[in-house]
Chains A and B, each alone.
Chain A
């Protein structure tokens, strides 16, 4: 048993749902109890989809258990087929149905439906969401992709593999990369899962190579396609300037074309922004990166080599890609943290004196608790991470978007200096002035029983410090003198929490009962790097 406060990934059948919901003409029958229908809201509320996911749940109850759950499953498949008339069906079990061992695949096949029925076995007590997505996509491809007579074409053709429903910026990444490939003179044969029908999957082989946007989802299927149809795939994920250029070179080679023209992208503003003098203050900012493997590897490269930050720690919850993330971490001289326990991540962020966190919704919370700025780079995410505007992560426009979203939460250089020099200025509210959050609000604990997408964003004021107070007040622990507390208040908010903790730790270690202004500065000197 694993004690879990928050989970980065859902169960594997949610991965299957992301594939099915991204596709058209496919219907998924899931043997599951009623509560599991919550997964619909991930799509309809968080991603704001305007249609229900194409999923039927059997919603068996305790009274069904002894007897007819298998019949209930068969009925559900038959009824769903009659109602939705899909080109193909997926069937499978959620965690509870896995325990009752009804064999959804066998039961569904016995119905002799006139369409392909693909059974996906997703071990729920072992695997998680991304694995489930990859396995489902692989099973679909394996069942549906057929050998084809190649369509003659003057231009090279590729498939784009990986984008799903509920993916971090998948919609916009797909648009960006499709347009990039088109400008390179490459046609798209099939994009999948997003937007593809089962019939489209049947003609995957009618392409020269595959572009794999998200290895977490499409890696397994791409390997199968390579083995079966000899299609090579891209290995580079085009997130960041450098990676996008490398990706273009890789694609050009696979397609046998010259792509130098697209390398010179007039709309790539990011390199100049990074070089312009106002970006000087970004140099060496201590950055922590956590999320899925693809985005973490890309983000670390951008942070270190394209923005001039220092990557002080990185890690992933994608255990399947632990090796790749470990390799990448070596480039920056850090050791990768591979975990799905967000408390481990929080400990690491707290101990590394981080100035910017790049992460998922979990890290957003960690960063808020610790008073550190944060930008989103990966799932899991919140409703606000599905922006209305075009905001890809991939390609040249993606690099522009990343520059803006990562730099925005930081204090601008001059502002930071002025704040440092004139901390007593009563008009300085100690947060980046363009973000408009007052420190008083940031510290106010408000119990907001909001629900998923109901509340817009947990702005700073919905953060709940649902823990014993940070300051140590128990007997035998140091207490703050009034002067010390006042001096602490002059420290910019984003390092104040750290200063408080460090000073208290220092005082405790030295046996100092009352923390004075002197103690604060002694501690600062003690911990300075």
Chain B
């Protein structure tokens, strides 16, 4: 990896080397377990078994919509005092729980054992457990493991860890297999379908997605595979794919018209798509999208925004908000700043944007209150309290649960930020 953006940013300025405020203090963010909420919907024959405490079980169900799904494809094996006291052998217990689970859900083909803080602190070796169970259950069920613990992972890093656990499972295509494109990161099905159509219009037909919708459809990779990251939080997955010889196409992320164009263009360049083919493939959706975004820009131009760290989507989002909606960036917080994967994004940020990494939530709240932004993007724990203090807020978690990538979603993405302001203007209560 060279860490240099392949595509020259439009603005010569940018934040590539801007200093970042690094903070350490109380972090008000989810742990990686939370990714299960969308991943368990994405991979339709996978099941996520968290090995953890009642806290872990409570976290997922609280974040997941307090039990919207009568029976979801996730569960928790709750460690109890017998396990800790050594009265029960954790591995036997795990085997028992997994057996019971798979009896109930015979349609499950892929089981993730998901580590948590407690399982890590007691050093329960889930990778060995996964190997053992995989042997036992083979070939009906494949068992993998990753950690979503809060001591190791923040929110979307759980998806990164999950996808990283799939990388060694990807089949090997022949060394002389024709070049193909791998899109990495969970996307809404509708977004995937749009992307596939666009690639096809450019003449790129060999496209696959990680994670696949069904565990049996894991894409094969070869040294001729090129990958586009669809999400900015896939540090480990990206690294492991590169280790397996896949080439990363550096690009901004497909948020907004500009981001989507450059993202698609990175693939077009790598696959030597003629400029005219590329232009005509994207012309219609890009125009439609721009027109729709323009309507929202009228409402948002000049408004200021403050982002609390949450999903690592913050920097691409800030780039979109600044460049396509003309919003003013006050502070853009991110839980973790991956400079390589975000290189093109950083270059496109307005010069002098205040970036913060990590968190000390009390101090950040102080800064936010002082700045009185027109809109604050934050987690669910902070939103209502800030509203009550008079600040308009947008819940960041919604950005993970809504199709926002691509041309046809660009205006939806803009709308998500506009709605709280429109609503405030409307209310007379």
Contact = CB atoms under 8 A, between A and B. Distances in A.
Contacts of A41: 62-63, 379-381
B29 A7 contact: no
A152 B64 CA distance: 53
Contacts of A57: 26-27
Given A3-B75, A35-B59, A37-B29, A126 B81 contact: yes
Interface in A425-461: 447-455, 458
B34 interface: yes
A455 B28 contact: no
Contacts of B152: 61-62
Interface string A228-260: 000000000000000000000000000000000
Contacts of A7: 54, 57-58, 61, 76, 78
Interface residues of A, number: 77
Given A447-B41, A449-B65, A35 B33 contact: yes
Contact of B68 (A1, A46, A61, A450): A450
B28 A37 contact: yes
B218 interface: no
Contact of A452 (B90, B380, B382): B380
A33 B154 CA distance: 10
Given A36-B55, A76-B26, A125-B53, A6 B381 contact: no
Interface in B76-101: 76-81, 83-84, 88, 90, 93-94, 96-97, 100-101
B68 A10 contact: no
A6 B67 contact: yes
Nearest to A128: B54
A96 B53 contact: yes
A463 B31 contact: no
Contacts of B32: 35
A468 B107 contact: yes
Interface string A1-44: 11111110111011000000000000000000111111111101
A39 B73 CA distance: 22
Interface string B373-406: 0000001111111011000000101100100000
A369 B151 CA distance: 37
Interface in A77-130: 79, 83, 94-96, 99-100, 123-126, 128
B122 interface: yes
Contacts of A44: 380-385
Contacts of A62: 120, 149, 151-152
A291 to B, nearest CB: 15
| Chain B interface residue number, banded | 35 or more
A125 B84 contact: yes
Please indicate which of the listed interface residues A60, A466, A468 has the most CB atoms of chain B within 10 Å of its own CB. Answer: A466
Interface of B: 25-34, 37-38, 41, 51, 53-59, 61-73, 75-81, 83-84, 88, 90, 93-94, 96-97, 100-101, 107, 117-118, 120-122, 149-152, 154, 362, 379-385, 387-388, 395, 397-398, 401
21 contacts: A4-B54, A4-B76, A7-B54, A7-B57, A7-B76, A34-B29, A35-B117, A35-B149, A37-B26, A41-B380, A45-B380, A45-B383, A50-B385, A51-B388, A58-B26, A59-B26, A79-B25, A95-B54, A124-B55, A383-B66, A466-B70
Given A11-B55, A125-B80, 14 more contacts: A1-B90, A2-B78, A7-B54, A33-B149, A34-B30, A45-B380, A45-B383, A46-B62, A59-B150, A361-B66, A365-B70, A449-B401, A451-B398, A464-B70
